[in-house]
């Protein structure tokens, strides 16, 4: 059986992780960014799924305190699974946007509110410090992240946070943050069909600076906020047939082939899909197949 180690490892600061990880958003239902848009799986089933991921070598989990539905909290499910697991797992969470207990969103926390968000993640995860906290920039109106990132840097100095990252940002935000404290990862939307991170230079920038680039919506195509639709891209199908793989596996493999600093965080509530996602780390695409997937015309750059 393939394990998450098949794709190799990368370091988030001093924390080494396998390049195939797991995104926890779907544990609470199938809604967008934690909104309740589907039925969450049973709590015990969710914990068993997480333990299965750990057994398959997944040691990098992406989550957030705002991943919750009326019945489930992703952080608390992760905490329960980790309580019975024997090896280290790096948990990456994010702050910035938030939701009140009723589920209503507020656009962006003030810098002085970020400590409360960090402490809520600590409480839910049952930890005395967070491995990695990403500042998620919420919307194009947020021109500067310096004040918010500076507030997180103070929490890092205080020992509540080990490492810092960014989400939904542009290259100028990385430079702004790096002038304040080290950035170990950047999470942006990126896939075969959605390559703005190439056009902006973000993927190359992260490689040059030793920063992990962690795509979200990597398997969803242009329907980025939804679960992956039946694959319509004939080129992905062609490559998938050649390997006896699924289109989702090809998409994940393409992501991992973009550079050793790219990490995958696919999410699922299906044990079979979990195994497929992990196995995608062992899928080796040929130069001809990569060229086929990179042909202009089908992908939104």
pTM assigned to the model: 0.92
The predicted pLDDT at position 295 comes to: 81
Q: Which of 244, 243, 231 is nearest to 285 (CA)?
A: 243
Residue 54 parent element (H or E): helix 43-55
Which are the catalytic amino acids?
67
Residue 281 to residue 17: CA distance in whole angstroms: 13
Paired tokens of 26: 């779907």
Q: What digits encode the pLDDT tens for the residues 227-282?
A: 444 444 789 999 999 999 999 999 999 999 999 999 999 999 999 999 999 999 99
Print the SS3 string covering 51-107. Answer: HHHHHCCCCEEECCCCCECCCCEHHHHHHHHHCCCCCCCEEEEEECCEECCCCCEEC
The predicted pLDDT at position 107 comes to: 79
The predicted pLDDT at position 102 comes to: 78
Question: Which domains are assigned to the chain?
Answer: 4-293 (3.20.20.100)
Three-state DSSP state, 216: strand
Q: What digits encode the pLDDT tens for the residues 62-104?
A: 999 999 988 889 999 999 999 999 999 999 999 999 888 777 8
């Amino acid at each position: 059986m393939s394990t998450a180690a098949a794709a190799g490892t990368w370091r988030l600061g001093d924390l080494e992780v396998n390049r195939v990880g797991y995104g926890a958003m779907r544990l609470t239902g199938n809604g967008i960014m934690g909104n309740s848009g589907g039925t969450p799986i049973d709590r015990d089933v969710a914990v068993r799924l997480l333990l299965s991921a750990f057994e398959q070598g997944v040691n990098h989990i992406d989550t957030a305190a705002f991943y919750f539905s009326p019945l489930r909290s992703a952080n608390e499910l992760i905490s329960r699974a980790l309580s019975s697991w024997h090896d280290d797992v790096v948990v990456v969470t994010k702050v910035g946007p938030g939701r009140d207990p009723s589920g209503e969103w507020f656009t962006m926390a003030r810098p002085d509110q970020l400590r409360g968000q960090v402490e809520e993640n600590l409480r839910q995860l049952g930890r005395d410090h967070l491995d990695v906290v990403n500042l998620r920039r919420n919307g194009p109106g947020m021109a500067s992240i310096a004040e918010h990132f500076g507030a997180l840097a103070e929490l890092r100095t205080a020992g509540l946070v080990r490492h810092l990252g960014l989400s939904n940002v542009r290259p100028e935000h990385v430079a702004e943050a790096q002038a304040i404290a080290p950035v170990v990862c950047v999470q942006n939307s990126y896939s075969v069909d959605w390559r703005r991170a190439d056009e902006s230079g973000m993927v190359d920038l992260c490689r040059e600076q030793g920063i992990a680039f962690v795509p979200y919506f990597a398997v969803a195509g242009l329907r980025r906020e939804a679960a992956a639709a039946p694959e319509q891209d004939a080129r992905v199908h062609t490559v998938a047939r050649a390997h006896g793989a699924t289109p989702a596996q090809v998409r994940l493999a393409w992501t991992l082939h973009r550079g050793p600093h790219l990490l995958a965080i696919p999410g699922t509530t299906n044990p079979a899909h979990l195994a497929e996602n992990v196995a995608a780390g062992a899928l080796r695409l040929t130069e001809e197949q990569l060229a086929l997937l990179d042909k202009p015309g089908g992908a939104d750059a």
